[in-house]
Chains A and B, each alone.
Chain A
Amino acid sequence: MEEYLTSKLKTQEYFLNMGPQHPATHGVLRLLLKLDGEIVQNIEMDLGYIHRSIEKMCERDTYKQIIHLTDRLDYLSSHMNNEAVCLLVENALNIEITDRIKVIRTMMSELSRIASHVLWWGVMGMDTGALTSFMYGFREREMINDIFEETCGARLTMNYNVIGGVRYDLQENFVKRVKDFIVHFKKKLPEYDKLLSNNIIFQKRLEGIGYISKEDAIAYGLNGPTARGSGVSCDVRKIHPYSAYDRVDFEEILFTEGDSYARYRVRIREMWESLSILEQLVDKIPDGEHRVKTKAVIKLPVGDYLQRVESARGDFGVYVKSDGQKFPYRLKFRSPGFANLTALNKMTKGLKIADLVAILSTIDVVVPDIDR
């Protein structure tokens, strides 16, 4: 019977142009879908709608200037991107930074991570059709943004890290505000579960969808929460600890299901872990310099340098090939989103348009990060 039907009911494949202006592509990502009815047969990607050739610009900028450009990559984890460049230069030149700087950087990174994940959660709900989560997410994000604004003077592209420290010392309100936020967020996170995670429709929409095995996840170079949903241990904070991550106690969240719902839960649990890191550090910010003196002109010795940090989207890397000048000879930003997007076609094949939207949301793409 089924064979008879498939032979008689032949459908024509067609192309659907999704993006660059589409609500589900989170910016200017363009996907050319080959569809059979609603079923996705193939995805062809067209990127570059927000390409600013940041890597080329970096080749004519000093290391201090490069930091400003990294804000514009993954704007939701701009703090981590800054940190990557700073750490690279500091490690290359053996600049000793104080404990205070390390703790401040760690705390700001974790706040950024929560802010990013909260925004992701809101958008995740919106992509699956639950519009209210977006507003709930923004409520918490506002609090973090207020902390950022007070500390660095900016809410999105913070630009707080400088080589050898952070730009300004912490404001006196900082500790109190962070504590308030921890108390508030601890009450609100269970609410997130009530609204979305435990909703039966939401679970059915994500469970078993967009499956990628552990082996495939490694082969496709997946990283961050996307890979951890498949059981790949890849948290840079654990495997190559930097800043103050070696002195805090936190868990690397791993789920083995490899589907969209696993990736969703990884991010939700990561928010709890970030909260616990903040809790451990907020009372123990050491005294000391917030910025150590560095040379006016920074030149890296000839050689290859690589620095990785765990941004909100995953394994963010900066590779610098230096020829001893004050400009890098070649600088590459290894974007976590770009690597994650590689597997989109594999995850989505044979599923429906609605699933594509949900998967795109669970791998949490930020297009400026992909285009660079």
Chain B
Amino acid sequence: MMTNTELKNKIENLVNGLNFSGEESDFLCVEVPKEILRELMTTLRDDTELSFDYLFALTGVDFGNELGVVYHLESVKSRKLIQITVKTEDRENPSIDSIHDIFPAAFFNETEAHEFFGIIFNNHPDLKHLFLPENWDKGFPMRKDYTDINMLVR
């Protein structure tokens, strides 16, 4: 299995403008500008040597100033794991490209991130309320600045 450093070099050669970290930990962390997210994802999936074809998890995260999404991809062949982070600074109207056509598994996960963080996934055909009620209008519950009278605050 290739090490994280090898993996980093390999990806660097394929896609420009990435930010790497966590070479010593279990998985490589990549931070990607949102403009080239789809390019990176397609490359990671289609490259025969990398073949990160399994979207393990898609997590919406509120980074404080930014909103973002953390993707965990795994290669079924080599069982290598990689973490990809994409951020957007716009908290009013955050938008990130949808990857549901690259990884069908992302479809409902993106819907979930949309309703809990308010992230708009471009080209996602069905950003409805999946978990929350249809008529929910009290904001985005998983954001750090969300308040509710029922919430237990520490």
Interface residues of A (CB under 8 A from B): 45-48, 51, 53, 55-56, 60, 216, 218-221, 232-234, 239-240, 303-304, 306, 308, 315, 317, 319, 321, 327, 330, 332, 334, 338-339, 341-343, 371
Shortest beta-carbon contacts, A-B, top 6: A221-B105, A48-B131, A334-B57, A332-B59, A51-B131, A330-B61
Q: Any chain A CB within 8 A of the CB of B104?
A: yes
Closest Cβ of chain A: how far from B126's Cβ, in Å? 9
Contact assessment for B103 and A47 in the assembled complex, using a CB-CB cutoff below 8 Å = no
What residue in chain B is nearest A219 (Cβ atoms)? B104
Contact assessment for B103 and A219 in the assembled complex, using a CB-CB cutoff below 8 Å = yes
A343 contacts which chain B residues (CB < 8 A)? 104
Closest Cβ of chain B: how far from A335's Cβ, in Å? 9
Contact assessment for B83 and A221 in the assembled complex, using a CB-CB cutoff below 8 Å = no
CB contact list, B2-37 vs A, under 8 A: 22, 25-27, 29
Q: Any chain A CB within 8 A of the CB of B149?
A: no
Q: Any chain A CB within 8 A of the CB of B70?
A: yes
B141 contacts which chain A residues (CB < 8 A)? 53, 56
A51 contacts which chain B residues (CB < 8 A)? 131-132
Among A48, A221, A317, which residue has its beta carbon within 8 angstroms of that of B130?
A48
Q: Any chain A CB within 8 A of the CB of B154?
A: yes
Contact assessment for A239 and B79 in the assembled complex, using a CB-CB cutoff below 8 Å = yes
Interface string of B40-70 (1 = CB under 8 A from A): 0000000000000111110101100000001
Q: A330-B62, A342-B107 are in contact. Are A306 and B142 (CB under 8 A)?
A: no
Closest Cβ of chain A: how far from B47's Cβ, in Å? 15
CB contact list, B113-139 vs A, under 8 A: 129-133
Among B70, B79, B81, B142, which residue has its beta carbon within 8 angstroms of that of A56?
B142
Classify the secondary structure of A's interface with B: mixed
A218 contacts which chain B residues (CB < 8 A)? 53-54, 76
Contact assessment for B55 and A330 in the assembled complex, using a CB-CB cutoff below 8 Å = no
What residue in chain B is nearest A343 (Cβ atoms)? B104
Docked complex Cα distance between A308 and B81 (Å)? 11
Contact assessment for A319 and B57 in the assembled complex, using a CB-CB cutoff below 8 Å = yes
Contact assessment for B130 and A330 in the assembled complex, using a CB-CB cutoff below 8 Å = no
Contact assessment for B108 and A342 in the assembled complex, using a CB-CB cutoff below 8 Å = yes
Q: A219-B105, A319-B59, A338-B108 are in contact. Are A55 and B131 (CB under 8 A)?
A: no
Docked complex Cα distance between A342 and B154 (Å)? 36
A321 contacts which chain B residues (CB < 8 A)? 61, 70
CB contact list, B61-118 vs A, under 8 A: 61-62, 70, 72, 76, 79, 81, 83, 103-105, 107-109
Docked complex Cα distance between A330 and B69 (Å)? 12
Contact assessment for B72 and A319 in the assembled complex, using a CB-CB cutoff below 8 Å = yes
Contact assessment for B22 and A303 in the assembled complex, using a CB-CB cutoff below 8 Å = yes
What residue in chain A is nearest B29 (Cβ atoms)? A304
Among A60, A216, A221, A304, which residue has its beta carbon within 8 angstroms of that of B54?
A221
What residue in chain A is nearest B27 (Cβ atoms)? A306
B72 contacts which chain A residues (CB < 8 A)? 306, 317, 319, 334
What residue in chain A is nearest B142 (Cβ atoms)? A56
